[in-house]
A and B are shown apart, each in its own frame.
Chain A
Amino acid sequence: MAVTAVCLTLGLMVGSRGIAPVAVWQALLGTADPEARAIVQDQRLPRTLIGIVGGAALAVAGVVVQGHTRNPLADPGLLGITAGSSLAVVVGISALGLTTPAGYLGAAFGGAALGTIVVVVIGLAASRRRDASPASLVLAGTAVSALLGAITGIILLLDSAALDLFRFWTVGSLSAGRDLDVFLAALVPLAVGGVLAGAHARALDVLVLGDDVAAALGRNLLPTRLLGLVVVTLLVGGATVAIGALGFVGLVAPHLARRVFGEKHEVLLPASAMLGSLLVVVADVIGRVIISPAELPVGVVLAVIGAPALLVIIVRTRKTSA
């Protein structure tokens, strides 16, 4: 909770116009000057809330995916799930004329589920012929992402009006075209996904031991897998609607949490959620400050922070497994 409070304060204070903590408090209560009130209530409060919830959702989804695949490199972004979600939203806007947040939500969930299923099926098919390797899944994700990305590109070519909006949406941003309506529409599925993920913690602890051990311990694998799929779909779909296609949160936050809090999922899930929130809000704040008065979309900041983090994780897992 302390972490979330820090996030909230940071997100509200820092920007091209810095506001002191006391003034932020006054603005929330409505007693500050109108300018500070407008900035805090209308701009910084929505995006900070969206960042907190979206970051937490992606991080929890990352933990669930990593637990199910026993793959430390699994990340919704790397696995093509986010690409599926993006494609479905673009199809929804362009072909079906969706304009409501609820419509986006439906499309994003359909796309996230489809992306997940495709990548997992390919990963399973690849590992049937030989020992399962984490690379198969990541490569399947890369290939599926490339395919879905190309289709998304073709659709955007057909619908040139969407490009200017999409170039901001695709990198992930907390500011462009996302207001509290969208956030509130995404909140219900995200909350359900979060609760289900929490209920799922014991199962994840068992799954980490491997399918055979899990089955021997009396765990019925198919329903567990399906539940995991539902959780990931709800969380990634909702997060994509709320904050766009953000990469690396689902990869980096669980890793940091594991280092600090260990492997027990009952602790790992909430800890990852907190770190995911912190990561997104800090990245957003960095993006706002670093090229002030212009701002850098949070997705770009995360890619620049996250890509080296991915490389470090690769080097570390390599060393420990060798």
Chain B
Amino acid sequence: MSASTTLRVGMFSQQVRRRTVVVCALLLVATVLLAGAGLALGDYTLAPGDVVAALRGEGSARDHLVVNAIRLPRVALGIVVGVCLAVAGAIVQTTARNALASPDLLGVSAGAGAGAVAAIVLSGTNAAGAAALEVIGTPLAALLGGVVAAAIVGLLLRVTGTTGLSPLLAGVGVSALFGGLTSWMLTAASIDDAARANAWLAGSLGGRGWSEVAAVTVAAVAALAPLIVLSSRLPALELGPSIATSLGYRVPQSVGLLLLIAVVLTSVPVAAAGPIGFIALVAPHLARLACRSPRPPLVASGIAGAALLLASDLVARFALAPLLLPTGAVTAVIGAPFLIWLLVRSRKDPTQ
């Protein structure tokens, strides 16, 4: 029995490994369970049946309010943000051929954060434009910041080359630059704006509504759609630019497009939920290890990202209850040791 089958939809065909399908199914089950837990648990705990009833619009008005108006946006945002970050991480790790590369470490998140803080601080001084800027402006400002940071890293890599430690060090430098700008804006802002921006900078799924979910979902769909076509180029790109070129791929265009998608998938979630670190690094590794695949599988990475973020958010909500932790703090506490483990365990230089 072969370990893989070929999936055909119209003109597209894709080799699918059985193990990958099983892993994806298991991850989906985990995601659904975690989402269910996110909807059911809290100060007011519901039975599974009541959650399902509330989702279908039945049950008591109170259940309806708690599940659909308060907890569902949070869980939905967790799923969309988790998928976006993890897929972005998988794309960057594959195209950069660097196991440690992730949009966080490359400075894109810091750039997006600076952009979003600028929008928050500016919207505070202008009450009339505040409401509009909150919904439309922050994602665009974050995207702009992310693109600028990515462009700076890209220009640097033209000088230093993309191999070895250069991308990561360039990322450290660019992160520091945008971190400095963010700190400056925090000190220049009024204490109210600073408190708001600071709460947001911790990275959290809490207190967000459907408008954030909608903004991230639109961006996710817009970015993921072209990825369906482009993903077939990833295996070739992973072999290196020269081999990919000889196989007939236009490498610079493909890499550019893929990285642009990754920047969008990193920046827009930052605008909605704040900087949530390490999901983009950890989820693709988990998916790769679970699938025993040589490179991070995109679909499995995405689902793993959703499951991981939902799990982190549960920890954030209940670890120090009744105090709510920022989700980003939890992902950092889990993710940073994982980065250290990657650094220590890998036999070959993980930056190669």
Which A residues contact B (CB, under 8 angstroms)?
A: 73, 78, 122, 125-126, 129-131, 133-136, 138-140, 142-144, 146-147, 149-151, 153-154, 157-158, 163-164, 167-168, 170-171, 247-248, 291, 294, 296-297, 299-300, 302-304, 306-308, 310-311, 314-315, 318
Contact = CB atoms under 8 A, between A and B. Distances in A.
B195 interface: yes
Nearest to A78: B172
B187 interface: yes
Nearest to B189: A167
A170 B183 CA distance: 9
Given A125-B344, A133-B349, A138-B165, 10 more contacts: A135-B169, A138-B168, A153-B329, A157-B326, A296-B188, A299-B180, A307-B173, A307-B180, A310-B169, A310-B173
Nearest to B181: A304
A158 B173 CA distance: 31
Contact of A130 (B160, B325, B347): B347
Interface of B: 100, 105, 156, 159-161, 164-166, 168-170, 172-174, 176-177, 179-181, 183-184, 186-188, 191, 194-195, 198, 202, 277-278, 320, 323, 325-326, 328-330, 332-333, 335-337, 339-340, 343-349, 351
5 contacts: A78-B172, A129-B346, A135-B351, A146-B277, A314-B169
B153 to A, nearest CB: 10
Nearest to A294: B188
A150 B170 contact: no
A318 B336 contact: no
Contact of A297 (B159, B168, B187): B187
B345 to A, nearest CB: 8
Contact of B340 (A122, A157, A303): A122
Contacts of B184: 171, 296-297, 300, 304
Nearest to A321: B164
Nearest to B105: A142
Contact of B343 (A140, A170, A297, A314): A140
Nearest to A176: B187
Contacts of A129: 344-347
B173 A135 contact: no
Contacts of A171: 180, 183-184, 186-187
- Per CB-CB distance, the 6 closest pairs between chain A and chain B, nearest first, are A303-B180, A135-B165, A150-B332, A307-B177, A147-B336, A300-B184
A307 to B, nearest CB: 4
B191 A314 contact: no
B349 A150 contact: no
B176 A126 contact: no
Contacts, number: 153
B176 A143 contact: no
A154 B326 CA distance: 8
Contacts of B195: 163
Contacts of A294: 188
A46 B173 CA distance: 31
A135 B168 contact: yes
A168 B187 CA distance: 7
Contacts of A296: 184, 187-188
A300 B329 CA distance: 23
A139 B333 CA distance: 16
Contact of A143 (B164, B343, B349): B343
Contacts of B165: 133-135, 138
A138 B351 CA distance: 12
Contacts of B164: 133, 135
Contacts of A154: 320, 325-326, 329
A118 B289 CA distance: 27
A300 B180 contact: yes
A216 B77 CA distance: 60
B323 A314 contact: no
Contacts of B349: 130-131, 133, 135
A150 B349 CA distance: 27
A157 B179 CA distance: 20
A85 B64 CA distance: 48
> Which has the most chain A C-beta neighbours within 10 Å: B170, B184, B335?
B184
A167 B100 contact: no
Contacts of A134: 165
Nearest to B319: A154
A188 B278 CA distance: 40
A314 B160 contact: yes
A135 B100 CA distance: 11
Contacts of A307: 173-174, 176-177, 180
Contact of A303 (B156, B183, B343): B183
Contacts of A158: 323
A143 B329 contact: no
A182 B180 CA distance: 25
Contacts of A147: 332-333, 336-337
Contacts of A122: 340, 343-344
A247 B335 CA distance: 23
A151 B330 CA distance: 9
B180 A304 contact: yes
B177 A126 contact: no
Nearest to A248: B176
Contacts of B173: 307-308, 310-311, 314
Nearest to A145: B336
A140 B183 CA distance: 23
> Which has the most chain B C-beta neighbours within 10 Å: A122, A133, A135, A138?
A135
A146 B344 CA distance: 17
> Which has the most chain B C-beta neighbours within 10 Å: A131, A247, A248, A307?
A307
Nearest to B336: A147
B177 A143 contact: no
A84 B49 CA distance: 47
Contacts of A130: 346-349
Contact of B177 (A146, A291, A303): A303
A303 B179 CA distance: 8
A315 B160 contact: yes
B166 A144 contact: no
